[in-house]
Amino acid sequence: MSAESSPPAGGSPVASGRVPPGRPAYGFPRRWWAFLAEHPPPGAATVNRRWRSPLRGPWLTAMFGVVLLVGLPLVFLTGLLDYLAYSPQFGQAFPRDVGWLRLPQFDWPTRPSWLFRLTQGLHVALGITLIPIVLAKLWSVLPKLFDWPPARSVAQVLERLSLLLLVGGILFEIATGLLDIQYAYLFGFDFYTAHYFGAWVFVAALVTHVALKLRRMRTGLRSRSLPEELITYRAATRPEPPDPDELVAARPGPPTMSRRGALTLVGGLSLLLAALTVGQHLEGPWRRTALLLPRGRQPGAGPTGFPVNRTAAAAGVRAADTGPGWRLALRAGGRTVAVDRAGLLAMAQHTVTLPIACVEGWSTVQTWTGVRLRDLAALVGADGIAAAHVRSLEKAGLFKQATLQANQVLDADSLLALQVNGVDLSLDHGYPARVIVPALPGVHCTKWVAEIEFRSRTGG
Amino acid sequence: MGDLAARFRAAYGAPAGHLLLLVGAFTVAGWVALRLAAEPTSGRMLVWFVGAAIAHDFVLFPIYGLADRVLQRALGTHGVPASGPALLNHVRVPALASGLLFLVYLPGILRLGRPTYLAASGQDQRPFLARWLLITAALFLASAVGYVLRRWWAQRR
């Protein structure tokens, strides 16, 4: 079509120091690719002329890219850790069957007690914080989508297809994640399955993209000096020199914003989202700073006024089920011991201050009082404990039961809590008794406990 | 050997390593697609996956790009003076922030998924629309105050 890329006129010393590799040449079959290039659809040239921002260029794209390169792997890893916190070895991490994408399994530790609070908090909060940077990065490269010809070789066709996996992947993960933490399951498919496998598709595309573009990113970052950009006003802002990827506009308009302004804007938007999210982990009045998220509001006042993850009404647990007729069934090796609430209160009581954290991105620290799980195991004569299966009064739902690992049963801070903050549990918080275990995902701290079965290493 | 590599490169359009990397990404995606194909909702997942990219590139981007162009035209040369603060950016920034908040916190603001929200939290989503509007108003107000202060500062010098 037009002339092949000429050396950048009046380029910066760095850019002119090395020879840009230029546009990729046509692959096989040459004639077809050339034909495609010479027959643009009507309007292609107009679209190309309308990209006017003088800020687009390899340096700006690389700046956004490097932030995402640090941030996104952290979101991915904390997401995987959250999955592992659900003890996949008991088939209770969702999706259950992940084939070759099975993670190395280990017993999720109970220390530090804020471990799950940290991993899920980082996953959700960092994921939200990176949204403006993802959008800015996409803005900076969007003209490439409308490039003509769309490809000059099979290599480019494949690379562009992989970008669909990359862009579709990150936006899919953001959309499903945001809907999940706000309980709006508009998509009509299983969130866990979609978010888990979607993450792998995205990460595979990301690894490929980074491997292909890392050198470009480094060149881009070195092409300008950040400290210098941070003192450059709007009026002194000039477009970057033409680049082989043609990120720089062919006919840039006058600057309406400096690069420092653009970076401040994107960073500021990230900080705004972070500021409106972190409140979901804070106590007292600070919690309200999560103004637009579900857990910025305390559902009530007083010692049991902290958020719940599932109400008794939603769980189908009625006050009648939890009245004086309630008994806790403890089972081990074929033996069963039934204890009522008075019996539990007569046992040694322990008080611990532990966080309860939900994978949907919120947590709260409360003071729980109750009986140690290991004391209950002793009561029913269980030894050589490998696991404990806890069942709730709940009739339905994924989390009406949970299996605890041996370390989670035996930890001195693992309780069957009867009270919180000095008062009896409220029905919504799991009255008459609930599990609380350090660093265990909130949904596995089963509420309205009906039965605990201790399983030994030898069988049962 | 070198000749073969050069010929591959010329025909394919990139070195063999490029193909290898892409095959890796497509293998993972293909394996996941095959695995999920049996799910009754796999079609929906695919629609959301591809739809997310299409919605961004062909809906969201044109909308904010067009809005920006309209704004620039409306403000004309007053929007971006040769020196001093740009009124354009003092409209752009709060508008962008408000739009972003709307997108991110859309389920609460539009009260989507009410039954699941109630079951999970025991609450309704009533306050969120008003809060978003108030935050938007506060952002525009702060930006306006900032503009006035910056202009005053620029004129004083």
pLDDT at A3: 35
Question: Would you kindly state where each structural domain of chain B is located, as residue ranges?
Answer: 1-38, 80-157
- Establish if A306 belongs to a structural domain: no
CA distances, A289 to each of A273, A275, B98, B106 (Å): 11, 7, 16, 17
CA distance A13 to chain B (A): 28
Q: How far apart are CA A231 and CA A329, in angstroms?
A: 70
A75 and A193 share one domain: yes
- Establish if A124 belongs to a structural domain: yes
pLDDT at A48: 82
Q: Give me the torsion for CA of B86, B89, B90, B95, rounded to 10°.
A: 160
Helices A154-181 and B42-55: crossing angle in degrees, nearest 10, is: 100
End position of a domain, from candidates A221, A250, A275: A275
- What does the buried/exposed string (b/e) look like for A58-73 if buried means 16 or more CB atoms within 10 Å of the residue's CB? bbbbbbbbebbbebbe
- Establish if A111 belongs to a structural domain: yes
Q: Mean pLDDT, chain A, as a whole number?
A: 93
Total number of domains constituting chain A: 2
> Which of A79, A85, A94 minimizes the C-alpha distance to A407?
A85
Pairing status of strand A415-420 against strand A423-424: antiparallel
A224 and A346 share one domain: no
A94 and A188 share one domain: yes
| Domain residue limits at A445 | 312-456
Which residues of B, range 136-155, sit inside 8 Å of A by Cβ?
A: none
Per-residue pLDDT reduced to its tens digit, B37-89: 999 999 999 999 999 999 999 999 999 999 999 999 999 888 999 888 999 99
Burial of A414 (0-12, 13-18, 19+ CB in 10 A): buried
pLDDT at B91: 97
Between these two residues, B105 and B82, which has the higher pLDDT value? B105
Q: Which residue of A has its CA nearest to B43?
A: A189
pLDDT at B84: 87
pLDDT range class, residue A10, cuts 50, 70, 90: very low
CA distances, A410 to each of A384, A436, A437, A438 (Å): 11, 12, 10, 11
- The reply to whether residue A208 touches residue B24, judged by beta carbons under 8 angstroms, is yes
Q: Which residue of A has its CA nearest to B109?
A: A292
Q: Which residues contact A398 (CB under 8 A, 6 or more apart)?
A: A94, A443
User: Chain A partners of B127 at a C-beta cutoff of 8 Å?
Assistant: 297
Percent above pLDDT 90 for chain A: 87
- Establish if A295 belongs to a structural domain: no
Q: Which of A11-25, A197-211, A406-420 has the lowest mean pLDDT?
A: A11-25
**Is residue A284 scored above 60 in pLDDT?**
yes
ipTM greater than 0.85: yes
